[in-house]
A and B are shown apart, each in its own frame.
Chain A
Amino acid sequence: MAPFAVVAPASPDEAIAELRAAGPGEAVVLAGGTDLLFDLEDSRVGPRRVVSLRRLPWRTLDWNGPSLTIGSTLPLRAIETDPEVRRRIPGLYAAVRAVGSVALRHQATLGGNLGRSAPASDLIPILLVLDAEVDLLGPSGERRIDVDRFVLGSRRTALAPGELIRSIRIPEARPSAYLWQRVRPFHDISHMAVAVAFSAARSAWRVAVSGFPPRPLLVPEAEEALGGPEPGPEAVARAADALAAHAPIVADRRASEAYRRQLVRPLLQRAVQAIRAGSGGR
């Protein structure tokens, strides 16, 4: 591991100044560290400065009517233990619980998961179906961007140099579910996952897949096939077909393409059933 300095700015402005002062690749942002530390150990990144966000006042969770704003450095465990999250956005509860273990979730953050943008992220697909937005803070001020446009690819985001994720906004609490398949039920990487939500405001379904490169994606063909608020068995079957046909599934070292295309059907069907039953997943 290459030597670096750990700095912990006391304010967002100081943190941004710290990042601006560093040259390209010289500084990395540390939130929970549960993903970044692998890169530091493998020297895949060789930063001179590790900028820890631990002193920033962003460990927040605020409900405002139907919308929920989550501070980027709030540990995931605080999201799953919020009773309103479990009741009003069951899919978010299920997705958060799909990440690591309880101890890991006391460290890992939603901002870190987005900023690191792993191809098999368990949180990006549920944020996609909730039409979540990312609030960014940087040298030229604030801006808001959809999660779908924030995530560019495997480990690639729309973050500009010196920019930080301040919070994630979910505009509407939705009936939702997150279902995954993996080798080990807990503390493993999903090799196929499906997130589903129904927006009452738009009277429309949202369906996303995750688990394979380059990034989690919405699949509009499956959304349209589900149709209205009460899809019958035929609509669900058509949506499962559409998902298997149109999701841009590829093979990687964890699963073959054919296996993944088989898996998406039951995962979608179970997700719709879970939403009907008022649960977020398993």
Chain B
Amino acid sequence: MTEPSVHLTINGRSMAIAGVPPEERLLDTLRWRLGLKGTKEGCRTGGCGACTVLRDDRPALSCLTLTHDAEGTSITTIEGLEGDPVGEKVRAAFDAAGALQCGYCTPGFVMALTGLLREGGSSIPLGELLEDLGGNLCRCTGYAAIVRAVRSAREALA
């Protein structure tokens, strides 16, 4: 059975990707087919947030998305935040706060926070913003610096 090509806009570039098996996850398409290895595989069960990307500007779990079912959508990965006004502020906040230890969870946190701030801006109460990041885990438990980064990213958008 020949699979139809999948049409996606990846980091602003539209492309037709041929030969994607029906069971392939978006996470694997991004990492192994397109070489975008900033998106990480953590638990592969939607429980850790390491694979978070933006799908049509909203946070999505690329490990729980069939690539074929993402047909026609626009995907932004950590590599595509260059020039994004919210994304760049979030990245700068993580950088300034030193909000990473091993760095494995960082792209997921940056994408999740970028999605949340795009949705609600700086009007979201800090407590709710932190609660809404509860789907992202840091295996190094470096949360104190991450919380500082979240606070300063939110303030930078005010």
Contacts and interface: CB of A to CB of B under 8 A. Distances in A.
B partners with A: yes
Interface of A: 1, 3-6, 8, 30, 33-34, 37-38, 40, 50, 52, 54, 77, 81, 100-104, 106-107, 185-187
Given A33-B69, A54-B69, A103-B60, A186 B115 contact: no
B65 A107 contact: yes
By CB atoms of chain B within 10 A, which of A4, A5, A38, A104 has the most? Answer: A104
Interface stretch (B32-40, B46-54, B86-94, B145-153): B46-54
A193 B75 CA distance: 36
17 contacts: A1-B23, A4-B22, A30-B69, A33-B65, A37-B64, A50-B66, A52-B69, A100-B135, A101-B132, A101-B136, A102-B115, A102-B132, A102-B135, A106-B55, A106-B59, A187-B47, A187-B134
Contacts of B133: 102
Contacts of A3: 1, 21-23
Contact of B61 (A8, A34, A185, A186): A34
Contact of A34 (B55, B59, B64): B64
Interface in B16-30: 21-23, 25
B68 interface: yes
A104 B65 CA distance: 10
Given A6-B69, A8-B69, A185-B134, A104 B23 contact: no
Given A101-B135, A107-B60, A187-B134, A5 B22 contact: yes
B71 A8 contact: yes
Interface of B: 1, 21-23, 25, 45-47, 49, 52, 55, 58-61, 64-66, 68-69, 71, 112, 115-116, 119, 131-136
Closest 10 CB pairs of A and B: A101-B135, A186-B134, A103-B59, A6-B68, A1-B23, A106-B58, A102-B132, A187-B135, A6-B22, A103-B61
B135 A33 contact: no
Nearest to A1: B23
Contact of A103 (B21, B69, B135): B135
A133 to B, nearest CB: 28
A1 B22 CA distance: 10
A186 B45 contact: no
Contacts of B134: 101, 185-187
Contacts of B1: 3, 5
Contacts of B131: 186
Given A33-B64, A102-B132, 11 more contacts: A8-B69, A30-B69, A33-B66, A33-B69, A54-B69, A77-B58, A100-B46, A101-B49, A104-B46, A186-B134, A186-B135
By CB atoms of chain A within 10 A, which of B55, B60, B132, B134 has the most? Answer: B134
B137 to A, nearest CB: 8
B61 A107 contact: yes
Contact of A102 (B21, B64, B69, B116): B116
B34 to A, nearest CB: 19
By CB atoms of chain B within 10 A, which of A33, A103, A107 has the most? Answer: A103
B128 to A, nearest CB: 10
Contacts of B116: 102
A37 B47 CA distance: 13
Contacts of B59: 102-103, 106
By CB atoms of chain B within 10 A, which of A5, A6, A33, A101 has the most? Answer: A101
